Amino acid sequence: MRRPLDAATVQAVSDAWMKHLVLVFPDQRITDQEHVAFTRHFGDPEIFHQTSLHLRSERAREIFLVSNVDDQNRVMRPSEPSQKQLSSSRMWHTDSSYRPTPSVGSLLHGIEISRTGGITQFINMYMVYDELPESLKRQVEGRKARHDFSMLSRLVGSPPPTEAEKAAMPPVWHPLVRRHPVTHAKSLYVSSIYNDAVEGLEDGPARRLIEELSAFAEQPKYMYRHEWEPHDVLMWDNRCTVHAVTPHDPNERRVMHRTTIVGREPVMAA
């Protein structure tokens, strides 16, 4: 990753990414700057809009901190606001789906990894859509769900976004079944942590539908579970996968740096 990549290599990575959905690059002892530079081959890195919980790195603003260690090198308690918010990543979601043009993909660099849990699990949502029972398929075809960043704080009890953060990221509606802009395949597009409404349903039934879809999706046959080694870099497609991390001992340090690739277009209905 240290030398700039030539166009043929970028294309080869991109092709493998579209085919496999999640790529693993082992033993990448990279700096944040190298991480950001690699990301730029595939699009612009997002700048996380929420600054109140210090989840955005102050040294490299393109880096989102998936970490339980603070600036003073202290392990934070699970009750601290940033940790409460990060705990939502134990539920199935896809990064930045609350944006009008949601993220293309994410790249996560495991700097200090967990040995007691912290396994990142991914689901292939193409396969989930293809095998969805008819009763569920009927409920998602042609329908939209709302994605709201504020839903996070209501779910896990972290501090709500400030008025400015809310104004920067109002709720958006996306199709529950989407078509991938590169592969053109259909996939189910749901998020347990951001979906707070479904077109034409009351709150209770909307929530139950999202949970039912997530429960169907989380079958081992659709899943890849990544057990981290130090300096693995994972690169996943947010348009056709969801992910969730398993819990770990909160006294164990876990430091990961993420870049998130800005989406270029609205979600295409299938």
Q: Hey, what are 185's tokens?
A: 């395949």
- On the CB side of 259, CA atoms within 13 Å amount to 23
Measured CA angle at 8 (ends 5, 10), to 5 deg: 50
The footprint of Fe ion (CB under 5 A) covers 89, 95
CB of 251 to Fe ion, least distance (A): 23
Judged by beta carbon, residue 28 or residue 85, the one nearer Fe ion is: 85
For residue 257, the cross-strand partners are 65, 109
Judged by beta carbon, residue 95 or residue 148, the one nearer Fe ion is: 95
Question: Cβ-closest residue to Fe ion?
Answer: 95
Report the distance separating Cα 183 and Cα 140, nearest Å.
21
**Buried (b) or exposed (e) across 79-116, using 16+ Cβ within 10 A?**
eebbbbbbbbbbbbbbbbbbbeebbbbbbbbbbebbee
CB of 89 to Fe ion, least distance (A): 5
CB of 243 to Fe ion, least distance (A): 6
CB of 195 to Fe ion, least distance (A): 15
Judged by beta carbon, residue 52 or residue 89, the one nearer Fe ion is: 89
CB of 242 to Fe ion, least distance (A): 9
Judged by beta carbon, residue 139 or residue 153, the one nearer Fe ion is: 153
Judged by beta carbon, residue 39 or residue 270, the one nearer Fe ion is: 39
